[in-house]
Amino acid sequence: MDQQRPQHALVVGQGSREHALVYSLTESKHFSKVYAAPGNPGIAGLAECIAYQNLPELISWCAKREPLLVIIGPEAPLVAGLADALRSQGHWVVGPSQAAAALEGSKTYAKEVMRRYNIPTARAQMARTPAQLQAWIEEETMWPHVMKQSGLAGGKGVVIVDSREAAWHVAESWTERPELFDEGILWEECLIGEEISVHVLTNGHEYAWLPLTRDYKRVNARSDAPNTGGMGAFGPVPGLDPETKDRINKEILDPVMQFLRDERMLYRGVLYVGLMLTASGPQVLEFNVRMGDPETEVIVPMVEQDWGALWMQLAQGRLPRIADHFGKAAVAVVLADERYPNPTTGGQPLHIPQNLDGLVFQGATRLVDGVLEGNGGRILTVVGVGPDVSNARRQAYQVMSQIDAPGTQYRQDIALEHRDS
């Protein structure tokens, strides 16, 4: 596998995160061609998009190619074992094995790993039946509380409930979906503090930090607004003192590496840890086995290195060197369908002017008779880049104001609370 360096690259996925990953590869000197599967209209301006109906069809397409560098963006193909299948064909793959991807595929499994390795996280109980969940709701005296679907839910399987009535409402809606209880429902204490997104590149033994970011999960700024897949992000996040970073390394990341070694799990990719900085120290909210969205959209322009070289080193099991300091800041603002996170039908026309002073990464878009339209929840992500967060934020919202997109929404407060020192 190491004898033939890939000349072509493939990004698996179709969202704004994958658009940013394709952008990172087209900026690299290492590839003569970039593919995306399935991609979207924005990605099609940078890469050749490959349509496929299912993973076996994609695996078959890859089997006919010389070794590719493959970056798998979303979690579902990783949990389904796509990285294993493509590695067996000789491709250079960024993404963990199916066994390791269970850290994200099952929150119940992740909780068990954290318990075994003494990784700090919220106390939780797991319900396998509606009656069990209802009993815990009835007995609870501490509010707010957190309800989590154990399986993959596209970032929308976590609900913070601040009363017994609110919990009953969620439980009733989830009871209508028995498959959720097959995976398990977590009834979890609510952690209080500052939330951050820690991304590290890892070969399963060592790790290197990417810029620290913060994302915004709620659809709007109201404290009772529903969670989404992410409505914005910024980085770098200031103020993480060396002592706290050392605790994150020693209490969280080092034990995860020990777990991977103990279980002999292959992990060549990105580990994304959602953390809450509480009064008692950092605690894990969740593990993700790929880059976040919209965090990817701010990390890519902040790391001014050849991303193609970084990904190829990682795919070979070598840990890339990442700069300790970053000369740029970035702010991402997500434009979403006005009905999101409720089901959407899309169809709103989008007009994105040419030569904008910022980056626009398309997510849920489609072309209909040559007209660009929205095609789902999170339609696109606008990214402002600057010498500091304030300037990056100003650019992001200036660009967003120039996009004509009826029937959409976006948060006005991304990075608003941040003040550059």
Would you state the pLDDT for residue 323?
Answer: 85
| Bond prior to 341 in cis (omega within 30° of 0) | yes
Q: CA-CA distance, 163 to 161, in Å (whole number)?
A: 6
Q: CA-CA distance, 234 to 395, in Å (whole number)?
A: 13
Would you state the pLDDT for residue 418?
Answer: 66
What is the domain partition of the chain in residue ranges?
8-103, 123-189
Tokens 């590839």 locate to 31
φ and ψ at 32, to 5 degrees?
-85, -15
- List, in sequence order, every beta strand (DSSP E) within 150-250: 158-161, 185-189, 194-202, 207-209, 214-215, 232-235
Would you state the pLDDT for residue 27?
Answer: 86
Would you state the pLDDT for residue 1?
Answer: 42
Starting at the edge strand that comes first in sequence, how are the strands of the sheet with 145-149 ordered?
124-127, 185-189, 145-149, 158-161
Q: Which residue, 173, 181, 169, is CA-closest to 132?
A: 181
Would you state the pLDDT for residue 153?
Answer: 80
Architecture of the domain whose range is 123-189: 2-Layer Sandwich (3.30)
Would you state the pLDDT for residue 82?
Answer: 98
For the domain spanning 8-103, the CATH number is 3.40.50.20
Would you state the pLDDT for residue 2?
Answer: 47
pLDDT per residue rounded down to tens, the chain (421 residues): 445 899 999 999 999 999 999 999 998 999 999 999 999 999 999 999 999 999 999 999 999 999 999 999 999 999 999 999 999 999 999 999 999 999 999 999 999 999 999 999 999 999 999 999 999 999 999 899 999 999 888 777 888 999 999 999 999 999 989 899 988 899 999 999 999 999 999 999 999 999 999 999 999 999 888 889 999 999 999 889 999 999 999 999 999 999 999 999 999 999 999 999 999 999 999 999 999 999 999 999 999 999 999 999 999 999 999 988 788 999 999 999 999 999 998 999 999 999 999 999 999 999 999 999 999 999 999 999 999 999 999 999 999 999 999 999 999 999 997 655 4
Would you state the pLDDT for residue 238?
Answer: 87
| Bond prior to 144 in cis (omega within 30° of 0) | yes
Would you state the pLDDT for residue 42?
Answer: 97
Q: Which residue, 158, 147, 301, 281, is CA-closest to 227?
A: 158
